[in-house]
Structure 1
Amino acid sequence: MWYGSARGAGLALFLWLAPVGGAAAQTITAASYAEPTTRYAHGVLGDAVEWGALVLTLAPCAGCAARQVTLRLPETRVFEDLAPRLMTTETGDVLAMVVESDLGKGARLALYDTSGVVAATPFIGRPNRWLAPVGAGDLDGDGRIELAYVDRPHLAKVLRIWRLEGRRLVPVAEMAGFTNHLIGWDVIPGGLRDCGGGPELILADGDWQTVQAVRLGPDGLRARSIGRYDRPEDLDRALRC
């Protein structure tokens, strides 16, 4: 279960609510950002520095040693993110989930393996528009993997759910009125939990008044208030059931 991210984290290893299947020849075991850059003037995460490269660490296998693969973005893009998040697909492949921003089109959520982008959402469409990841896993119990993020947590405040289908991300559901980040924060509190009744996404309501638990079901998204919001730690505390 992912309990949030902090700015500048060197390595990001997270246990997702996702089934683990057969391993590939060399499985991604860790991911980090590298090559800091100031070519994107946004600073939504508290400073002017973003990242130009993604470093994937691979597990050793029979006949091959552990190694690292570095993937570099073009000069028109950056990783506008805290740390990469590792997720496992229903087929057992490990992918890195990242926030990738284009200097003219804003942010998108993307999944990477050692060859590059596996699947991605569309860019938001304008520069200096960002999204904050919430979590990834089988959110509705159908065996397929969904990804959740808040689209423009400072402006639109829309929770969006996408499903990974092969090499595509397909929109599944959305609901307005949620957030998980304030401009300048170097953390994204909240995330994904399962307290025995199935996966729930933990966020704040759009006015920062209550902690919300959101479920994905056959009829779409349903939210309920589970307490008062006073500080970011309230969202992280809710992850502990």
Structure 2
Amino acid sequence: MPRRLLSRLVLWAMLGSAPGGAVAQALTGASYAEPTTRYDHGVLGDAVEWGALRLSRAGAPDLLIRLPQTRVFEDLAPRLVDLGALRAAMVVESDLQRGARLALYTADGLFAATPFIGQRNRWLAPVGAADLDGDGQVELAYVDRPHLAKRLRIWRVVPGAQELREVASAEDLTNHRIGWDHIAGGLRDCGDGPEMVLASGDWGRVIVARLRAGGITREALGPYSEAAMAQALACR
């Protein structure tokens, strides 16, 4: 699907509940708005990024998050993730001088974010969000600089705090080529819990990565191709 169509999709989800049965104000959808060309990175195939994030909320008007002129959403589409009783939109937010970071926006605005990579024209490609190790907490996974560093990084919300803590990382993995208007791979569950489907750093193999108590394990499934990646995601 073309990038601009993907960017305009609203990701719908059922309402969440807070502990004790009280209904929490929840996100029901998220989409990017206000296209802009103020950041000339073009990593996703064109010069158009997004200056705002529109959050649809249960029982409340939409919330429009408008970034300052020094930032853009350098992304395909927001991803709704459930963090226990809290629902958030997971997005890639880039600073014109400091590069990208992964950020979480709730119905009230910015909740938490990773540090910016630290340099202009440095990007990250999300893999997904899920309870990757079966401990009841949701992890957020992305590839840090998929064209350069090729480092899988996994983060978790610090309990009781509005911040993220890195819990694991692994080298020589990627999920994007410069100019692609999509991100390869993602998450799958073939019956043993969520797994991350990626490519080896040289794009030679399809890799399944798993978060375990001892860190990140990986398994090579076979030679990389788009068809092989799709079959891996479909558990075939």
Fold agreement, TM-score > 0.5: yes
Q: 1:174 to 1:6 in 2, by over 3 A?
A: farther
Write the letter of the residue equivalent to 1:11.
L
Higher RCO, 1 vs 2 (CA within 8 Å, ≥6 residues apart): 1
* Matched residue, 2:92: 99
Q: 1:128 to 1:24 in 2, by over 3 A?
A: farther
Write the letter of the residue equivalent to 1:38.
T
Write the letter of the residue equivalent to 1:134.
V
Matched, 1:164 2:161: no
Q: 1:157 to 1:236 in 2, by over 3 A?
A: same
Q: CA deviation at 1:81?
A: 0.3
Q: CA deviation at 1:26?
A: 2.9
Are the aligned partners of 1:6 and 1:82 in contact in 2 as well (CA < 8 Å)? no
1:187 aligned counterpart, secondary structure = coil
TM-score (normalised: structure 2): 0.91
Taking the aligned partners of 1:153 and 1:46, their CA distance within structure 2 comes to: 15
Task: Pick from 107, 110, 113 the counterpart of residue 106 of structure 2.
Answer: 113
Q: Percent identity?
A: 61
Taking the aligned partners of 2:144 and 2:194, their CA distance within structure 1 comes to: 20
1:139 aligned counterpart, secondary structure = coil
Taking the aligned partners of 2:197 and 2:10, their CA distance within structure 1 comes to: 20
Task: Pick from 174, 178, 188 the counterpart of residue 179 of structure 1.
Answer: 174
**Gaps in structure 2 of 5+ consecutive residues:** none
Identify the range of structure 1 (138-147 vs 124-133) with the bigger mean alpha-carbon deviation.
138-147
1:235 aligned counterpart, secondary structure = helix
Matched, 1:42 2:35: no
1:238 aligned counterpart, secondary structure = helix
Residues 70-107 of structure 1: CA deviation (Å, up to 9, x unaligned): 110000000000000000012x2110000000000000
Taking the aligned partners of 1:36 and 1:14, their CA distance within structure 2 comes to: 22
Matched, 1:197 2:195: no
Task: Pick from 195, 218, 226 the counterpart of residue 223 of structure 1.
Answer: 218
* Matched residue, 2:126: 133
**Gaps in structure 1 of 5+ consecutive residues:** 61-65
* Matched residue, 2:228: 234
Question: How many residue pairs are counted as aligned between the two chains?
Answer: 226
Identify the range of structure 1 (36-45 vs 108-117) with the bigger mean alpha-carbon deviation.
108-117
Q: CA deviation at 1:238?
A: 1.4
Taking the aligned partners of 1:59 and 1:236, their CA distance within structure 2 comes to: 35
